[in-house]
């Protein structure tokens, strides 16, 4: 998968998460009764997942079926805002060429933090598609972190993408 494709996929997942958080269909969280700043995650969406995965490690197309779960957590102590989204995908599929059974697990965490006039956005992705045998397993790990100061200037930018075949 090219760097642009990985970043496009990451941006698409992030945009999906942000748009899902703005949906009118999701009921807002009730404010805590006490000034506790801990908040539990709540499910925003749970449903079926169907997509085709091209395993670059084997050159094989794998139709995958499973479930997707979108979870959200908001914490807003005075003068700050913190929102976390989790996108969790699990399932399996049969390789079209080899007939191997592939299992997949995919976890995205997207965080938005505003404190005073500074802000941060962080995304962490871990995706695993595994099958029996050597060199059939594809792993994608992504870390993206951007911090801005009160003037809107970037004070930190970290991007780390790792794709492995095992």
- 3-state DSSP of the chain: CCHHHHHHHHHHHHHHHHHHHHCCCCCCCCCCCCCCCCCCCEEEEEEEEEEEEEECCCCEEEEEEEEEEEEEEEECCCCEEEEEEEEEEEEEEECCCCCCEEEEEEEEEEEEEEECCEEEEEEEEEEEEECCCCCCCEEEEEEEEEEECCCCCEEEEEEEEEEEEC
18-27, 31-40, 108-117, 125-134, range with the lowest pLDDT: 18-27
Domain boundary assignment for the chain: 3-21+43-165
Quick one: pLDDT at residue 21?
Answer: 36
pTM, two decimal places: 0.69
Q: Which residue has the higher pLDDT, 108 or 21?
A: 108
Summarize pLDDT for 146-162 with one digit per residue, the tens: 999 989 999 999 999 99
């Amino acid at each position: 998968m090219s760097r642009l494709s990985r970043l496009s996929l990451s941006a698409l997942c992030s945009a999906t998460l942000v748009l899902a958080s703005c949906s009118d269909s999701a009921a807002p969280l009730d404010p805590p009764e006490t000034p506790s700043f801990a908040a539990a995650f709540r499910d925003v969406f749970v449903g079926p997942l169907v997509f085709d995965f091209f395993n670059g490690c084997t050159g094989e197309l794998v139709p995958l079926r499973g479930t997707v779960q979108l979870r959200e957590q908001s914490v807003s102590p005075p003068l700050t805002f913190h929102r976390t989204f989790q996108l969790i995908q699990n399932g399996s599929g049969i390789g079209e060429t080899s007939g191997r059974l592939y299992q997949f697990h995919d976890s995205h965490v997207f965080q938005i933090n505003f404190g005073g006039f500074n802000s941060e956005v962080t995304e962490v992705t871990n995706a695993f598609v595994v099958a029996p045998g050597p060199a059939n397993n594809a792993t994608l790990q992504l870390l993206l972190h951007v911090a801005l100061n009160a003037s809107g200037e970037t004070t930190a930018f970290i991007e780390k993408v790792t794709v492995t075949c095992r």
